[in-house]
Structure 1
Amino acid sequence: MDQALKLQRATYHLWTFTISKLISTFGAQVYAFGISFYILQLTGSATSFALNLICNLLPRALIAPVVGYAADNYSRKTIIISAQIGTTFAIGGLLFVSLTSGLSLIAIYITTCLLSIASTFSTVTFTSSITGLIDEERIQKAMSLNQMSISFASIGSPAVGGLLYGVVSMPVFLIIFILASVLAVILESTMNFKLFSKKNEEQNKENGKEPIWASMKAGLVYLKKQEVIMTIIWISLLINFLFASFEVGYSYILIEKLKMSSEHFGFTEGAFAIGMLGMSIYFSMRKEVKFPLLVSKRGILMMGIILGSVSVPLIISMPYGVMFAYYAFVMFSFGSMVIIVNTPIQVMMQKKIDEEYKGRVFSILETMSIALMPLGMVIFGFLYDILPGQWILLGSSTILIIIVLILARPSVVKKAHPELANKKEISNEVSSAL
């Protein structure tokens, strides 16, 4: 295909990918909002609500290695479209149960597990396909637009979900999700996932497909040789564990300890999505970050400081209005830092990981990111019952900063970016990079 036509097609992929992700994410979040309210209204039990969260997390962690194998050995387009069709059928099944015998917790939990599996197939495979869909120069733009679609959905779905929940029935929620899923399937079916692919499929056919366990082992052997990527995976694992202190503690501190109203609490969470959106727009327009690991390291250090800053109103008394403004600013900053950390690293991994290993590497990253989250939530939930919240947050913040300074030490950063010759140059480049 002519290069100009390929670039034109890549532009189509860029926007189709973004719109597809926006539609499917928006539908999923509106559904999640409605189901959360339904479970709490039906049972009044936090345990029932937590079980639904576990039904979302656990299948993702268990299925991710199989998804990585599939993404590296089978048609990625077929996997993505099949996963989206699976999502449609899962919600269709729940709609059928709702109309015939009424919703039950068992039906909701089974559907959540099925949606989690389908979402993992779609997410890991789509992430592995970016370099086949988009030209190398616009990978950062693609990742930024993906984050923008998630941010838009995060901002809009609670408002739409809240409006609909008070007006329409649960079957209407399910029908909205089904329509969104069908539209996503139609858009994804028009995309050429091999447009820029460097994968040697002829050689793969000659050699035959490896058995699944041999393929996973090969993926791990490949990862062990990639010191920088292994560093990113370990940092991701430990960050997600330590940020469980934030996930568990933020709502508890603001609502129970500081008595913030639900409306103002919702605004602070909205500020997080706005921070993500604003920084995603910035990254979609600016040139590619030159030293991604360095920029992400600084971003994680800032996230550690922000994590500790959540505790300040517990230590220093503030008027209610000042406290609300403070937390809105903290969450806006936090959302911005998430994009500063994630986008450059995602672009770097897209370029550094060999095409034939992407599915397995991204699936390992998915598993590692999720693996310690449930454990972290249990541990920090217990700690918040016996220790003051400010010490938990400050302790987590300190440990996070120390871990990042050790794992992403200068020698590791220089391996990722050998062109950084001296400390003065590093300082100057970071300033220009941000």
Structure 2
Amino acid sequence: MEISDHESNMQVLKDVSSNFISTFCGDMFSFALGLMLLRATGMSLSFGLSMIIMPIVTLIGLVPIGNVVDTYPHERILIISLVVRIVALSVYAATVGRFTGVGKLIPTIGCLIINYASVNLSNSGYLASVHELVNDAHIQKLNSLSQSSASFASTFSPIVAAGLYALVGFNLFIIFQLMAHLIALGILLTMNLHYVHPNQVSKAPQESQWAKFKLGLDYLMTQAFLRYLICIALFLNFIFAVINVGLPYIVVEHLHLGNVTLGILNSADALGMLIGNLVISVSPELRHLAKILTITMIIIGTGLMGVGTLLMVAFDKLMVQLVGSLMLFSVGMSLAFMNTPFGIYMQKTVPTELMGRVSSTEMSLNMMSISLGTVFYSFIFQLIPNGSVFIVSGIILVAVTGLTMPSFMHIQMPTSDQDPKRADLQHR
């Protein structure tokens, strides 16, 4: 069944609204949870608990989540996933008050494990259901506006959470999160998913979970450009840890420029991603995919070199705030033109019946690369606490782009009236 432009626009509006509410309240809850645990336990681990649990849960769920998404109707998966999160959070709200001190980690870890398993299932199910929500002409708008709403929510939610926490305490944030889940569930129930490729239980029940999952890996092995994109995404996530780890360490601890300066720089990066995705949402269909990715990666690498140079030569707070913000704004905007087209390309080329396994693999590998990058750069900045680490990372990124991208420069994004499977075969 063909999805009309009007219905596609309505689905985009619902999806963006749900994504904004979920991200905004979810980020506020995570911020408040970290503050609560920090006060209760006195452990610096409080704010890093998610970064420990998330990769472990993602790795364990890699095979079963991909298989489930490609086996059962996506709408059912998304609904069940949300209901599980609502139940888990309700149980957490009823039990966390019974624990004190370090003991609060017990219900918190249990809740986070269930939450991240459910989120991974929802994310894979969502990626696989895009063709069931909108027609191909609206995939770019859906991706870019969803990313924009998430960027906007992530930018301002910590500010709101910090102000509210001092006034209302942690328990109200649990209520906010529950309300967000219920609203998201209500919106989901009004959305109409058209099953382009009806998912059915496998006709070979004796087939092992690994054998089913391996079909997705076999598909990836035949797609040279898609494999390259995933490898570049892993490399970029690893490299980008230089900002997540190095910026707070150098700006606050080494240069003593204050939390306000760090907040301005982080907001500039998030604002760049927001503006970039808004630009994509109103742009014609992206066509020259490899050229776009090449330009964005060079800008990101150059931006990292610029930030590193600035942190080495400029100790004036205002200069770091102004010039650094411009550089990180360009990096954030370039990331939007990297992430969103990559997602669009996957949704336009990967067969729907394999999307769960392919997306689950890609998300799991990305999570691992972020964690490894965080550990690596944490060690490096202990040895070399200055901007030279940014400069070297930027040079490596530009060099890798120049050495690997030219062979794929002819690759273009499939158009909305092009058969995704036929387009994909052309890139093998």
Identify which of 66, 69, 73 aligns with 2:67: 69
Q: Residues 61 and 366 of structure 1 are in contact (CA less than 8 Å); yes or no, is this contact kept in structure 2?
A: no
Can you list the C-alpha shifts for 1:137-168, whole angstroms capped at 9, x where unaligned? Answer: 11100001111110121122112211210111
Aligned counterpart, 2:33: 35
Q: Partner residue of 1:178?
A: 178
CA contact (8 A) 2:143 2:343 kept: yes
- Which string of whole-angstrom CA distances, capped at 9 and with x for unpartnered residues, describes residues 224-256 of structure 1? 001110000111111112222222111001101
Tell me if structure 1 keeps the 8 A contact 2:69–2:357.
yes
CA distance in 2, matches of 1:415, 1:279: 22
Aligned to 1:314: 311
Q: How far apart are residue 209 of structure 1 and its match?
A: 8.7
Question: Could you tell me whether the CA contact under 8 Å between 2:62 and 2:364 is conserved in 1?
Answer: yes
Q: 2:71·2:199 contact (CA, 8 Å) conserved in 1?
A: no
- Residue aligned with 1:140, SS: helix
Residue in structure 1 matched with residue 56 of structure 2 by the alignment: 58
- The corresponding residue for 2:355 is 358
Cα distance change of structure 1 residues 209 and 101 upon mapping to structure 2, 3 Å threshold: same
2:126 counterpart of 1:126 = yes
Tell me the residue number matched to 2:143. Answer: 143
Distance 1:136 1:280 in 2: 18
User: Is residue 2:267 matched to residue 1:270?
Assistant: yes
What is the deviation of 1:376?
A: 2.1
- Deviations along 1:60-98, one digit per CA (max 9) or x if unpaired, are 233133221111111111111111111112211211113
Q: 2:407 aligns with which of 391, 411, 431?
A: 411
SS for the counterpart of 1:10 is helix
Q: What SS does the corresponding residue of 2:168 show, helix, strand or coil?
A: coil
Q: Which AA in structure 2 matches 1:412?
A: F
- Between the aligned partners of 1:290 and 1:168, the Cα distance in structure 2 is 49
Q: Which residue of 2 aligns with 1:430?
A: none
| Counterpart contact for 1:87–1:118, Cα < 8 Å | yes
Residue in 1 that maps onto 2:6: 8
Equivalent residue for 2:17? 19
**Counterparts of 2:9 and 2:369, CA distance in 1:** 38
Structure 1 match to 2:232 = 235
Equivalent residue for 1:253?
250
Over residues 340-397 of structure 1, what are the superposed CA-to-partner deviations in whole Å (9 max), with x where a residue is unaligned? 1112221111111111111111111101111122222222211111124322222221
Give the residue type in structure 1 aligned to 2:381: Y
Q: CA deviation at 1:208?
A: 6.5
Q: Percent of aligned positions with the same letter in both sequences? A: 26
Supply the distance in 2 between the matched residues of 1:290 and 1:236 (Cα, whole angstroms): 19
User: Partners of 1:390 and 1:265 in 2: how far apart?
Assistant: 15
How many angstroms apart in 2 are the aligned matches of 1:15 and 1:208?
39
Deviation track 1:177-236 (CA, whole Å, cap 9, x = no partner) reads 00100110111112222x2x431557x766669532111111111110011100001111
Q: Which runs of 5+ in 1 are unaligned?
A: 420-434
Q: 2:210 corresponds to which residue?
A: 213
Secondary structure class of the residue paired with 1:166: helix
In structure 2, do the counterparts of structure 1 residues 397 and 9 end up closer, same or farther at CA, with 3 Å as the change threshold?
same
Secondary structure class of the residue paired with 2:192: coil
Task: Please state how far the C-alpha of 1:415 moved relative to its aligned partner.
Answer: 4.6
- Among 345, 348, 352, the alignment partner of 2:345 is 348
**2:349 aligned with 1:384:** no
- 1:302 & 1:96 partners in 2: Cα distance? 49
Amino acid of the structure 2 residue aligned with 1:106 = I
Q: For residues 110 and 303 of structure 2, what CA distance do their matches in structure 1 show?
A: 37
TM-score, normalised by the number of residues in structure 1 = 0.89
Q: Are the structure 2 counterparts of residues 87 and 288 from structure 1 closer, same or farther at C-alpha, using a change threshold of 3 Å?
A: same
Structure 1, 280-289 or 107-116: larger mean CA deviation: 107-116
Runs of 4+ aligned residues of structure 1 deviating over 3 Å after TM superposition are: 99-103, 204-211, 415-419
Counterparts of 1:311 and 1:413 in 2: how far apart (Å)?
A: 29
Contact kept, 8 Å, 1:22 with 1:150, in 2: the verdict is: yes
More displaced 10-residue stretch of structure 1: 346-355 or 226-235: 346-355
Q: Normalising by structure 2, report the TM-score.
A: 0.91
Pick from 299, 303, 316 the counterpart of residue 302 of structure 1: 299
Task: Give the deviation of 1:295 after TM superposition.
Answer: 0.3
Alignment coverage as a number of residue pairs: 413
Question: Residue 268 of structure 1 contacts residue 328 of structure 1 at CA under 8 Å; is this kept in 2?
Answer: yes
After superposition, the C-alpha distances for 1:16-55 in whole angstroms (9 at most, x for unaligned) are: 1111111111111010110121222233332343233211
* Root mean square deviation of aligned Cα: 2.2
Unaligned runs of 5+ in 2: 416-428
Give the match for residue 154 of structure 1: 154
Give the aligned residue type for 1:90. A
Structure 1: distance between partners of 2:285 and 2:326: 27
Aligned position for 1:192: 192
CA pair 79-404 structure 1, distance change in 2 beyond 3 A: same
* C-alpha distance 8-313 of structure 1, shift in aligned 2 (>3 A): closer
The residue number in structure 2 matching 1:428 is: none
- Distance in 2 of aligned mates of 1:259 and 1:370: 31
